[in-house]
A and B are shown apart, each in its own frame.
Chain A
């Protein structure tokens, strides 16, 4: 398997091959002695050149979030042979989606569909665990659509409204 893996700035090519009882691993063309045991879901015991790491992983859209020691890394992981992940990107230029910043309940909707709003104007209030979070408009524009109703439960990332 070949993966193109990117951190913020740097890009890596990782070649992994499963062998009987272990792995062959090449990082940017250099051989690295590494093996991994999945000790429980999302937790790897990883050895790299005789050093031992307990690594935790969580799937992100288009990659993995990796924790070990005191640090965490967001990594974009792409299989260069796959076409998936290359397309997309480039949102509709005019319309912007308002997403829920946290899971919670919509306790108040502050504007009506069709109304004009300034950038930074409060659109609705989402509440969780006794904390209220005002979701603000990312731009000056018109509220094209409100996709949730008062008292609706929402998940982080759910689209709440569309401003254009």
Chain B
């Protein structure tokens, strides 16, 4: 087993990996940029090294600097988390060349999957179901028109090197194709430095369902069940659950077997995710493979009882998978909410800043994977994900009940978050009936915010505002003892008391 692991990431996922290291008695090494000195992951790691300026290219994306820390700290493995360098084949190769184990697939497997068109050719040979379309990049407008005519509109144009919705265009009719193709090409060129675009039949109101796979380095590959990821905004996932309400045991087995075939065809090792589009008749089509640990991996952990990060580490260390496909059981239901620093009042634009107040829920069936704490300033330079709130229950209904309860306890003050959005989703009748697709959230957020302000609630708010105003500055400062009766009127803590307390803290 490894002695020391470097985590080439930040935020909640770095904390997640550091926790697994500590549980396995492995030393952890954090790296951090100039604005992340006070970050959670630095506080929790055994060692921490600065790697440069806030801009990702100067720090978390800088292969040379990260490998240099690997060398200086004598780390024997590197966990890339998700995002940043996690799907960078060049980085995986550089690790191998430097003699540090990359916790993930090989560079070759990543390359095979990194380009959507290359992946597609390999998969077609393995008999994987695809959305009808081209498996090669489009050469000309004429070719695009020919293919689109053959498979029928609406069609979707997609960047071969793409992800996150960039370089994607939905085209309803032939006369829109030319402009859409040019736009998709230039967007792909700008975002990925590669203007290759291919065409697919657009599946109307699809579901987005993905299958977790795990492969060791001894030829064993298993699937760990699916995650329902249809709740998205701007093509970014917002809420995920496992299992999917529309997938039964038979469908799970068929999707799982396809996912295992995909992984095998690429010579895949470690944890990976095979994404599928599912149409209204429950036909599923291969979309892409993500060659990393996913943000939403906790829902799979909850329903399988497995620790995916620990398994990733064991696989990378050369261990065999400690179970076979038949040993894996799905039990209960888990739902994850991605808590983002976003302003719902400003079209969900980012809202970085200082977290003035943080009240986190706990209790039965609740898990929080967080990268933040009260008093910390969320930097403006990175992804707005603050934490993931995961609810688990024996049924979907119980999981929803627990999550709703947890959301009533959750509060982030000082910056704006999307917590209110989850309250609305979980209360939505269609969501509760599991009737949704990838267009659900955009439709739901277009309705005006409901304001069921009862007179009573308003009166309580008015009294509260008055109390805050009456307490003045004291209401925003650290209170003294609060275990007694209501705050005694206008009685400031005496200087003697304050001095005594400070003294006690210092000697403590």
List the interface of chain A (C-beta within 8 A of B). 1, 3, 5, 7, 10, 12, 14, 16, 18-23, 25, 27, 32, 34-44, 46, 48, 53, 55-59, 63-64, 66-73, 75, 77, 79, 101-105, 128-131, 133, 153, 156
B476 in contact with A42 (CB, 8 Å): yes
B453 in contact with A71 (CB, 8 Å): yes
Task: Report if B474 contacts A (CB, 8 A).
Answer: yes
Q: Please tell me which one of the listed residues A3, A59, A64, A103 contacts residue B351 in the complex, with CB atoms under 8 A apart.
A: A103
Quote the shortest CB–CB distance from A55 to chain B (angstroms): 4
B466 in contact with A55 (CB, 8 Å): no
- Measured in the bound complex, the distance between the Cα atoms of B472 and A3 in whole Å is 13
Main secondary structure of the interface of B (DSSP, over half): mixed
Scan B349-361; emit 1 where CB is below 8 A from any A CB, else 0.
1111100110100
A38 in contact with B352 (CB, 8 Å): no
8 Å CB interface, B407-424 against A:
408, 411, 413-414, 420, 423
A38 in contact with B470 (CB, 8 Å): no
Q: Which residue of A lies closest to B351 (CB)?
A: A102
Q: A41-B477, A42-B476, A102-B343 are in contact. Are A3 and B490 (CB under 8 A)?
A: no
Residues from chain A with Cβ under 8 Å of B463 in the complex = 14, 25, 27, 32, 34, 46, 48
Q: A20-B489, A32-B463 are in contact. Are A102 and B470 (CB under 8 A)?
A: no
Residues from chain B with Cβ under 8 Å of A128 in the complex = 349-350, 352, 380
Task: Report if B364 contacts A (CB, 8 A).
Answer: no
Task: Report if B465 contacts A (CB, 8 A).
Answer: yes
Scan B472-497; emit 1 where CB is below 8 A from any A CB, else 0.
00111111001001111110000000
Quote the shortest CB–CB distance from B458 to chain A (angstroms): 6
Q: Interface size class for chain B?
A: 35 or more
Question: 7 other contacts beyond A7-B453, A156-B353, with CB at 8 A cut-off?
Answer: A12-B459, A32-B463, A37-B482, A71-B453, A128-B380, A131-B349, A131-B350
Q: Which residue of B lies closest to A15 (CB)?
A: B466
- Measured in the bound complex, the distance between the Cα atoms of B423 and A34 in whole Å is 28
| B108-116, B313-321, B381-389 - the one binding chain A | B381-389
List the interface of chain B (C-beta within 8 A of A). 341, 343, 346, 349-353, 356-357, 359, 380-384, 408, 411, 413-414, 420, 423, 452-453, 457-471, 474-479, 482, 485-490
Residues from chain A with Cβ under 8 Å of B490 in the complex = 18
Q: A36-B487, A43-B357, A56-B413 are in contact. Are A12 and B462 (CB under 8 A)?
A: yes
A57 in contact with B468 (CB, 8 Å): yes
- Measured in the bound complex, the distance between the Cα atoms of B487 and A48 in whole Å is 16
Quote the shortest CB–CB distance from A9 to chain B (angstroms): 10
Residues from chain B with Cβ under 8 Å of A19 in the complex = 489
- Measured in the bound complex, the distance between the Cα atoms of B506 and A119 in whole Å is 59
B357 in contact with A69 (CB, 8 Å): no
Residues from chain A with Cβ under 8 Å of B383 in the complex = 129-130
A40 in contact with B352 (CB, 8 Å): no
Q: Please tell me which one of the listed residues B350, B411, B466, B474 contacts residue A38 in the complex, with CB atoms under 8 A apart.
A: B474
Q: A37-B487, A40-B478, A129-B382 are in contact. Are A73 and B458 (CB under 8 A)?
A: yes
A16 in contact with B460 (CB, 8 Å): no
A23 in contact with B486 (CB, 8 Å): yes
Q: A19-B489, A22-B486 are in contact. Are A41 and B457 (CB under 8 A)?
A: no
- Measured in the bound complex, the distance between the Cα atoms of B464 and A66 in whole Å is 7
B465 in contact with A66 (CB, 8 Å): yes
Q: A53-B464, A101-B346 are in contact. Are A38 and B413 (CB under 8 A)?
A: no
B475 in contact with A42 (CB, 8 Å): yes
> Could you list some 5 contacts between A and B, CB below 8 A?
A20-B489, A48-B460, A103-B380, A105-B380, A129-B380
Quote the shortest CB–CB distance from B228 to chain A (angstroms): 25
- Measured in the bound complex, the distance between the Cα atoms of B470 and A25 in whole Å is 12
Q: A3-B466, A104-B380 are in contact. Are A37 and B458 (CB under 8 A)?
A: no
- Measured in the bound complex, the distance between the Cα atoms of B467 and A32 in whole Å is 13
Quote the shortest CB–CB distance from B378 to chain A (angstroms): 9
Q: Please tell me which one of the listed residues A20, A21, A69 contacts residue B408 in the complex, with CB atoms under 8 A apart.
A: A69
